[in-house]
Each structure stands twice: as C-alpha cells, then as structure tokens.
Amino acid sequence: MKLTKRAHRPIKALKRVPYYLASITLLYIMFGTAIETSSHEPQPPSAQEVKSFSKIKYYENFLQRLPASRLGQDSFSQINFETRLGSRKFARKDQLGQTLVPAHEGNNGKSSSEALVPVASSFRQWERSLTTPERWAHSLAVTMAFVSKLVHMGFKHPVVPFSWKDWHDTAEITKTRVSGLSTDYFEVAESEATKAARGARFLYSDGVSVNKMVILYNESCIELIAKNLDSRKSAIFDPESGMLSEIRELESQHGPAFFNMSSAKQDITLKSWEQQYTPIQALSGNSDDRTKPHQTKPISLPKIETRRSFDYQGEEEEGAIELAAEDFNLEFSSRIKEMSQISICEEYNGKNITAAESAFLQRLAFRHTETLRETLHNLHEKHQKKFFNEVKLDSTDREVWGQGCHHDWRFFRSVTPQRQRLLVLHRMARAWQSFASHQKIIYWLAHGNLLSWFWQGTNFEWDYDIDIQMPVRHMEYLSANFNSSIIISNDEGYIGRYYLEVNPLYADKNRGSGMNVIDARFIDVETGLYIDLTSISMVGDSADYQFGDKNHHSYSSIDLLSPVRETMYEGSKTYIPAAVQNILSDEYPSGLSKMEYKDYVYNKTLSGWVSNSKNPDLIPESTKILWKYHQLELTALYPLEGFKDTEN
C-alpha cells in the first residue's frame, strides 16, 4: 500500500508543475517591476562592502528619502514645529558608529580625508576620543544629518533637541567645588577657577535656555527651533530623545540610511521648497496646510517684522544704506498697541503661509508683546538689577581685573590670553557680520572699533571687545525673533558657537541706574568674550531731538549716520556711519592724529599699530595684507593731504 502511494506521488507533483511555473513567473514579474521602479534609489552598502570601502567612499552614500506614501500613514501633527520621535528605546548599538562626518569644508567645497571625523557611538567616546575642535565638528555634522533626515521626510520646520552638554566643555571647570547660588556672587571678587565653576554650574542647572539654533553653513543661514533637554543629558546620545536615537527610529521604519553631508547641505540650505520637492500626498487636516508651498527656504522660519527700512541696496549709491528716521523711534505703550496687528518678514509677506506658520507667528507676537508689557510695568525694578554680568576677579593686578570685566560670567573659563583673544574677536566679528547680513540687520561700528577701522581695518591689539550700534527697531527685530539663540558658524574649519541675548530694557530710552546701558550681547560660548550691541533712539523733545544711546553717546543729526557705508573689517563686510571723521573727532579729540598709545605706535610702513615689544616681522602676513588693503580704501574714501601723517 505504501509502495503504491509512493509510486503515484511523482505523477501528482507533475500535475502541479504549471501552477509552480505560473507562481514563479508572477513573482519574477513582481520582483522585476519592483527592481525597475526603485532602481533610481540609492542602496545602502552591505556589511562586506562597508569593510572594503575607503573612508570617503563609505561616507558618500546618498541619503534615502522615505516614500511619499509614508507621509500619509504617519500621524504627525499639522503644527509640525515639534517632532514626535524618539519615544522608542533601542537595545542594539548605534549603527552609525562607523560612519564619518566632515570636520570642515575644503577650499573647493569638498571635504578632504584629513577633515573627516568618526561619529562617536556614545557620549563617553565623544568626550574621551575626540579632540575639542572635533567634538564641535561632530555636534554640527550630526545636527545637519538629523535635520536633513527630517527635511527629506517632509518636515518643513524641523525641531532640534539641544543641550549645552554637546556644545560647551566644562569637564575641567566643574571639578572646582562651589557653594551657594551663583547669582549671589556677582559682586564678590573670587579666583578665576571659582568664577568659572559658578558659571558652569549655572549653565548646567538649565539657567540658560536656547529658543532657536541658527547655523551659518555653506554661505547660508539655517534657522531651527530648539527643544531644550536637561543639560545633564546629551541631545545627540540620549537614548530617549537624542538625535541619534531619533535617527535610529526613522531608520527602523525604512531601513538604514547613510548620510552624505555634502549633498545634504545643498538640499536643505540652497534650494527652495518648490525646487527641492515634487508634489506629494497632502497631509490630512486643515485645508490651509494643503496650499502650494511657497518659494522660500525650507529651513527659514517666519519672523515678525519690526523695521521700516532693511534694504541693503542704496537707491543712489551702491554699498550705501539710507537710514529711516522711523527706525529710531519706539515707545512702549504705542508699540504694544501696534502688536495687535502682526507684520510678517519680507520673505513670507504676501505668501500663503500654513496654519502651522500662522500659529508660530502668533506665539512669537504674544511672547514679544508680553515682554514689552512686563518690562513697562516693572521699569524701576528692572533698572535696579544688572541684566548682563561680567566676571569680578580677586586680583591686585589691574590688567587681570580689567580683563575679567570683558567676559560674560556664564561662559567664563579663564582670562583669555592676548593672542587667543585677538583670534576670538576676529572670528566673532566675522560670525556677527555673516548673521547680520543674512537677516538684513542694519548696524555700524562704534567707539573704539570705529577708531580701529579708521586706522587699520582690524581690531586694536589692546581692545577686549567689539562695539556695534543699530537703530532701536532693528534691536527689536533681534529681540522678537532671535533672543536667546545660539549661532553656529564654520569659520575655515573652526566651529564657533555664539549666544545672542537681548536685554528687555532695550526699548527704554532712560539711563535709569546706569547698570543697563548695554542692550544686547553676542557672546562667544568658548571664552565668554562678547560683542556689545547698543540701540540708538530718538532722544529729547520733538522740537530738539537727537539720536543717542543710554550711555551719553549721541548724534545731533541722522545725517551723521546716514547713509551707512559698506566696508571691510577683520576681513569681512561690515558698515560704518557716514561722517566717520566728525564722529571720531568728537568722541576722541586726539584719536585721529596721535600715533602713540600705551606701548603701541602706528607703523606707517605696515599701516597698522604695532607694540614696541614686538618685532614687526612677526606680524602675520594675512594681517599685513588687511592693513594695506584698508589703507588703499581709506585713501579713496578720504583723499586728504597729510592724512594720518600728523606727528605727535
């Protein structure tokens, strides 16, 4: 019986052959079609390929984009200013641990192999295995990769987790033990180590929040909303809400993807939303969100417009900006009433904004109005408390004590040596100039920096900070849209980090106690050195008003300032007021003729100020070139006989 059944099995199997062939054919057709339709998509390398790849080739795999159908399936909120990711925990190790990120851009826009930094798989590895410059390059590259991922998913305004732990090194500082509240010791003279520890302790107790992250990258300005994490956590490595965790969750939904930052930077910073994306399935929700995306950079946030004039192109003269008198006038009560109607920045004005963007603007307007109202109601109390605090050092050396006064207490590490200070100020000036240019902030050099521009086109060696002035309405623009922002810049491979903060008393014309004459600061996170930003307002009665700040600096007429003119300072484009010589002669009576100051003397051959204790041959060649070019510019601007030839 069994033998008979076995004899019939081959016959039954043969009868099923047509069905097998049909199934195989169908599978082949389906599989072949899938291959054909997806052949244009980049494929991640296999494990064997990864081992054989060189570092650069391994890194240069294209970023995969989630299909449009995924956007319709995911339950993302229409108010997509926050991401709902990172809720899942992963037990497996970080698969991005072997990839590479570029530390800086080469001259030709391509990263060289020496500029690549391995992605750390843990905060411990990041802290111990990478040099300090590599850490900041790592933080920037991972942030850009994370943003690129979200943009390719369809997020128009990505939210980025932020923690000071990834952008500020306090490992050595926090070893010094301090007691008591840091804010109670502003007026107490203490050692450098103690002051540094107090600042770090305040920073890591979440005392300094970040509302927005601005990245100056590849000649573009990327604006991102920041989601503050507990500063004890890493916004990159935290297993619940860190960027690598969120990237892993995205990849778990659609397989691994490897990041090509040279491609990502172009996709998310240079192309408009319409240029970058083909029409995709509309997200369900409010019909306003289904409107055709407007021509704007996808990483540019909508902003409140407070200025009357922000045209960087003069009508009569190229490189000259005419100032509007209205930009110097701001009254608390009338401004609060005006905020009932929101003015939108030029980039979004007249365009179809989404419900999400409208909600974001409403939040900005509400926060800005409440700040104005709260400041108006508490003017006296606010004037009795210093907003910006420096470092008071316990030293009998007046030079050391004076240097402490030029560091913000929260980011102070130690007194910055002169050579490093000059480099920090140079980079900080360039970062500010780049940021202001992107945002069309009208400003000009003031005080000692205007004098140093006049003489040599760069900062004086003996100066500790940089002074900038701007119309009060432009200061309001910074307050409404960029207060408490961190600005990240890539300056020839150095990743600079700067904190922008605006004093709410900027809108008050009164000097008060004299403790709040500085309206905003652009602070170097690495050292605590800063740029002082001061607003200029109409002061006095309507019959005889002037233009001035709260520290007894004034201009009798707007014609002394307008038009501000484009020039070069520290090697970058910046602006100076119209009547430079008149302004400087009034503020520094002998400043335009005296050619000696302290240990320095003006060297006519080099066209710059050199210390008597320094060999002129040791001046960097790049500095000498800046000085010479400035002398040529100055000769063209002021063709006066005997100019800068007056002896003491």
C-alpha–C-alpha distance, residues 485 and 637, integer Å: 37
Which class for 70: exposed (0-12), middle (13-18), buried (19 or more C-beta within 10 A)? middle
Residue 489 domain-assigned (yes or no): yes
At 645, the amino acid letter reads D
Using pLDDT thresholds of 50, 70 and 90, give the confidence band for residue 458.
Answer: very high
Which pLDDT value is given to residue 348?
73
Q: Which band of pLDDT confidence, cut at 50, 70 and 90, is reported for residue 61? A: very low
- What residue has token string 């060649």? 621
Q: Are residues 308 and 409 in the same domain?
A: yes
pLDDT number for residue 558: 94
Beta bridge mates, 121:
none
Band (pLDDT 50/70/90 cuts) for residue 405 is: confident
Judge whether 284 lies within some domain.
Answer: yes
**Cα 408 from chain centroid (whole Å):** 18
pLDDT, tens digit, for every residue of 540-552? 876 678 999 999 8
- pLDDT over threshold 60, residue 40: no
Q: Is there a domain that residue 594 lies in?
A: no
Predicted pLDDT at 122: 83
Residue 462: burial class (beta carbons within 10 Å; 0-12, 13-18, 19+): middle
**Which of the residue ranges 17-26, 33-42, 348-357 would you say has the lowest mean pLDDT?**
33-42
Distance of CA 56 to CAs 97, 162, 620, Å? 15, 29, 34
Report the pLDDT value the prediction gives residue 246, as an integer from 0 to 100.
81
Tens-digit pLDDT profile for residues 549-562: 999 899 999 999 99
Enumerate the β-bridge partners of residue 161: 227
- 3-state secondary structure at position 419: helix
The pLDDT tens digits of the residues spanning 502-542 come to: 999 999 999 988 999 999 999 999 999 999 999 999 988 76
Asked if residue 88 has pLDDT above 60, the reply is no
pLDDT value at 292 more than 60: no
* pLDDT for 567: 92
Query: Omega into 563 within 30° of 0, i.e. cis?
Result: yes
- Per DSSP bridges, beta strands 159-162 and 220-228 are parallel
Same domain (yes/no): 64, 136: yes
Strand partners, 469: 444, 534
Alpha helices (H) along 278-321? none
Q: Which of 534, 550, 566 is the last residue of a domain?
A: 550
Q: What are the residues whose beta carbons fall under 8 Å from the beta carbon of 533, sequence distance 6 or more?
A: 443, 468, 469, 470, 475, 478, 518, 519, 520, 521, 522
Task: Answer for the pair 534, 517: CB distance below 8 angstroms, yes or no.
Answer: yes
How much is the average pLDDT of 45-74?
A: 30
Q: How far is CA 534 from the centre of its chain?
A: 20
| Domain end point (choices 301, 325, 345) | 301
**Residue 29 domain flag:** no
Q: In the structure, what pLDDT confidence band is assigned to residue 465 with cuts at 50, 70 and 90?
A: confident
Supply the pLDDT for residue 474: 97
pLDDT in tens, 194-225: 999 899 889 888 889 999 999 998 778 999 99
Q: Is 588 exposed, middle or buried (0-12, 13-18, 19+ CB in 10 A)?
A: middle
Q: Is 40 helix (H, G, I), strand (E, B) or coil?
A: coil
The rounded percent of the chain whose pLDDT value lies above 70 is 69
* % of the chain surpassing 90 pLDDT: 38
State the pLDDT at residue 559.
94
**Per-range mean pLDDT, top range of 26-40, 89-103, 306-320, 528-542:** 528-542
200 and 178 fall within a common domain:
yes
In-domain check, residue 20:
no
Q: Which of 286, 301, 316 is the last residue of a domain?
A: 301
Q: Are 222 and 254 in a shared domain?
A: no
How much is the pLDDT for 252? 67
Domain total for the chain? 2
- Say yes or no to pLDDT of 589 above 80: yes
In Å, what is the CA distance from 637 to each residue of 294, 401, 605? 43, 39, 20
CA gap 159, 166 in Å, rounded = 16
- The answer to whether 282 and 290 have CB atoms below 8 angstroms apart is yes
Mean pLDDT throughout 108-137?
Answer: 69
Sorting pLDDT into bands at 50, 70 and 90, what band is 150? Answer: confident
Residue 107 has pLDDT above 60, yes or no: no
What is the value of pTM for the model shown?
0.77
Q: Share the mean pLDDT of the chain.
A: 74
Pair of tokens at residue 612: 């008597």
Q: State how far the Cα of 221 lies from the Cα of 490, in Å rounded to an integer.
A: 11
User: How many other C-beta atoms lie within 10 A of the C-beta of residue 300?
Assistant: 20
Quick one: 225 and 296 in the same domain? no
In eight-state DSSP terms, residue 82 is: S
Bridge-based pairing of strands 530-539 and 546-548 is: antiparallel
Name which of 45-59, 383-397, 496-510, 543-557 the model is least confident about. Answer: 45-59
Helices (H), 323-384: 332-338, 355-377, 379-383
Give mean pLDDT, residues 55-83.
26
Spell out a b/e string for 10-46, using b for 16 or more CB atoms within 10 Å of the CB, else e: eeeeeeeeeeeeeeeeeeeeeeeeeeeeeeeeeeebe
Please state which of the ranges 113-117, 139-143, 431-435 shows the lowest mean pLDDT: 113-117
Based on the fold, state whether residues 294 and 348 are members of the same structural domain.
no
Residue 235 confidence class, pLDDT cut points 50, 70, 90: very high
**Are 191 and 289 contained in the same domain?**
no
Q: Are residues 224 and 309 in the same domain?
A: yes
74 vs 620, higher pLDDT: 620
CA distance 549 to 210: 27
Q: What is residue 312's DSSP assignment?
A: S
106 falls within a domain: yes
Of 54-58, 179-183, 344-348, minimum mean pLDDT range: 54-58
Task: Taking residues 571-588, report their average pLDDT.
Answer: 93
- Report whether pLDDT(1) > 80: no
Do 181 and 260 lie in one domain? The reply is no
- Which whole number is the average pLDDT over 9-25? 52
- Whole-number Å distance between alpha carbons of 166 and 138: 9
Q: Please, which pLDDT band fits residue 398 given cuts at 50, 70 and 90?
A: low
Same domain, 144 and 274: yes
pLDDT score, position 317? 62
* 328 Cβ neighbours under 8 A, 6+ residues apart: 471, 472, 473, 536, 537, 538, 547, 558
Domain limits for position 310 = 164-232+302-550
Contact by Cβ (8 Å): 120, 130: yes
Average pLDDT of the residues in 564-578? 91
**pLDDT top residue among 226 and 66:** 226
Residues 224 and 106 in one domain: no
Given 3-state DSSP classes, what are the helix, strand and coil percentages for the chain, each rounded to the nearest 5?
Answer: 40, 15, 45
Cβ contacts of 122 within 8 Å, gap of 6 or more: 94, 237
**Whether residue 335 sits in one domain with residue 376:** yes
Q: Give the Å distances, CA to CA, from 363 to 163, 208, 285, 302.
A: 23, 20, 20, 11
Statement: residue 375 has pLDDT above 70 = yes
Please tell me the distance from the alpha carbon of residue 549 to that of residue 555, in angstroms, as a whole number.
9
CB neighbours of 38 closer than 8 A, spacing ≥ 6? none
| Whole-number pLDDT of residue 106 | 41
| Domain annotation covers residue 2 | no
Which of 346-350, 378-382, 432-436 has the lowest average pLDDT?
346-350
More confident site: 583 or 72: 583
The radius of gyration of the chain from alpha carbons, rounded to an integer in Å, stands at 29
pLDDT tens digits for range 263-287: 333 333 323 233 333 222 222 223 3
276: helix, coil or strand?
helix
Q: Is residue 168 part of a domain?
A: yes
